[in-house]
Amino acid sequence: MDLCTPLSHEVLMLRAGDRVTLSGTVFTARDEAHLRMMEKGIPFDPHGAAIYHCGPVIQEKRIIAAGPTTSARMNTLSGFLLEKGVRALVGKGGMSRQVADQLKGRGVYLAFTGGCAALAASRMTLKGVYFEDLGMAEAVWAIELDRLPLVVGIDAAGNDLFEGVNKNAQAQFRRRFQVKKEAPA
């Protein structure tokens, strides 16, 4: 499916494991930007918005490299965005059960291949910036996407592809090493 921001209730139909593309404006945000938005408010219209967990390399207002960062760092920082109408979180590595619950009936988590910064940059145009004082990696950059290829990691029904893979990995580990107790995770 080809998605375009602002996203509507169409995202609720997606299922974990679906491959989609995303076009339209997205907003980058990492740890510091989330903390700033919690304190000072969201500087863009959050309705149907997509947040991209990314700290790009920008040179002379051009996007040089812009792959995803580890979404798990934003596990405890994302609820307020979903409450304000954000429909998609885009990043890598998956998010917590808490976020999967917060996404229920609201939106989806979309996984982009970690490290694919050149591929990402080739499908992006820089539109603007908020909180530039946070520095290049932590600022909120408004970026226009042209069909970024993504996988639905967590759907709006709470199904989590990463959680399934992780449970299987735990089981394989216990079998391989004859561990009785569940390994810490």
* Stretch 125-144 residues interacting with other proteins (CB under 8 A): 135-137
Among 5-13, 81-89, 124-132, 158-166, the segment contacting other proteins (CB under 8 A): 158-166
97 touches other proteins by CB under 8 A: no
Question: How far apart, in whole angstroms, are the C-alpha atoms of residue 126 and residue 144?
Answer: 6
Nearer to other proteins, 56 or 107 (CB): 56
153 touches other proteins by CB under 8 A: yes
| 27: β partners | 51, 142
Question: How far apart, in whole angstroms, are the C-alpha atoms of residue 156 and residue 13?
Answer: 8
Q: What are the backbone dihedrals phi and psi of residue 151, each rounded to the nearest 5 degrees, phi first?
A: -120, 135
* Stretch 34-73 residues interacting with other proteins (CB under 8 A): 54-57, 59, 64-67, 69-70, 72
Q: Residue with structure tokens 């009785």?
A: 180
177 touches other proteins by CB under 8 A: yes
Question: How far apart, in whole angstroms, are the C-alpha atoms of residue 125 and residue 121?
Answer: 8
Among 42-50, 80-88, 97-105, 112-120, the segment contacting other proteins (CB under 8 A): 112-120
Q: Is the peptide bond before 46 cis (omega within 30 degrees of 0)?
A: no
What is the tally of helices (H) and strands (E) in the chain?
A: 5, 9
Would you please indicate which residues are annotated as catalytic (active-site) residues? Answer: 34
Q: Which residues bind other proteins (CB under 8 A)?
A: 17, 19, 54-57, 59, 64-67, 69-70, 72, 92-94, 111, 113-122, 135-137, 149, 151, 153, 161-162, 164-166, 168-170, 172-173, 176-177, 183-185
